[in-house]
Structure 1
Amino acid sequence: MMKKFYHLGTCTTCQAIIKDTKVDQKGFEMQDIKTEKITPAQLDEMKALSGSYESLFSRRALKYKELGLKDKNLTEKDYRDLILEEYTFLKRPVAIIGKKIFVGNDKKNVAALREAVDQL
């Protein structure tokens, strides 16, 4: 079963989630998206599990405002291209356990991830 964790090594929220869920001790393949870029195949796999590129896209990224993206009508292709071009556009962290995906750091999602990891 695939166990993969995409995160940003410098992100304190990601670090706290890793510590809280213990994914680093459960045999997850850890990928720091700043030092090891996401491949198109990896992003397409995330999209297949999450349902859309938009669901993986972070509107909190500084470049979102800088590039004036909030005023544009973005397509799925735009979201895909932006995430591949700029790692900060990926909503973090992203955890994949088998056919389940956990995207982002809201409390409900982190709780669901913790529960899934505890069952491994």
Structure 2
Amino acid sequence: MSKIVILYHNNRCSKSRAALALLQVRGIKTQVVNYLDVAPTFEELQNIFTKLGTDSPRSMMRVKDSLYRELGLDNAELSDDDLLKAIAEHPTLLERPIAVIGDKAAVGRPLENIEALL
């Protein structure tokens, strides 16, 4: 049985394109989710966050993006749900690429994070 990787992808991002190329070169079945065209739901984002196994949704957010600061998301009092709702409303805040394989996920910065899942 071959694994299927779900790749949250932005074609305008060189890291995201590199992750997709890596999966294609390895012949790994990939379901590409162009998350800027079809934004992940709050529930999907909760699922990704759980699979990442990190302490905060900020690990899957573009914290250096100006929108992050404009929305006041650097406020330490915000809950995980507050942050995930912000990503659901503003998918540009989602870090890219993110690969999900089974019950694990990784942000592909650096690309070795995704390689470690394979």
Smaller-chain TM-score bracket? 0.7 to 0.9
Q: Give, in angstroms, the shift of residue 48 of structure 1.
A: 1.8
- Over 3 Å counting, the alpha-carbon distance change for 1:111 and 1:6 in structure 2 is same
1:69 aligns with 2:73: yes
Match of 1:114 in 2: 115
The one-letter amino acid paired with 1:32 is N
Taking a change above 3 Å as real, the CA distance of residues 89 and 104 of structure 1, as seen in their structure-2 partners, is: farther
State the 1:112 CA deviation: 3.7
1:95 equivalent in structure 2: 99
- Alpha-carbon distance change, 30 to 68 in structure 1, aligned in 2, over 3 angstroms: same
Contact 1:18/1:24 (CA < 8 Å) preserved in 2? no
Query: What number of residue pairs does the alignment pair up?
Result: 113
Answer yes or no: is 1:58 the counterpart of 2:62: yes
Structure with greater helix percent? 1
> 1:60/1:23 Cα in 2 relative to 1: closer, same or farther (>3 Å)?
farther
Q: Which runs of 5+ in 1 are unaligned?
A: none
Letter in 2 for 1:77: D
CA RMSD of aligned residues (A): 2.3
Once the two structures are superposed, residues 48-107 of structure 1 have per-residue CA deviations (whole angstroms, 9 ceiling, x without a partner) of 21234232222022201333433x22221221111101112112111011122111412x
The corresponding residue for 1:37 is: 39
Identity score, percent = 26
The separation in 1 between residues aligned to 2:25 and 2:88, in whole angstroms, is 24
Instruction: Measure the CA separation in 1 of the matches of 2:25 and 2:6.
Output: 9
Q: Give the TM-score of the pair, scaled to structure 1.
A: 0.77
The one-letter amino acid of 1:40's match is: F
Counterpart for residue 20 of structure 1: 22
Q: Normalized against structure 2, the TM-score is what?
A: 0.78
Structure 2: stretches of 5+ with no match in the other structure: none
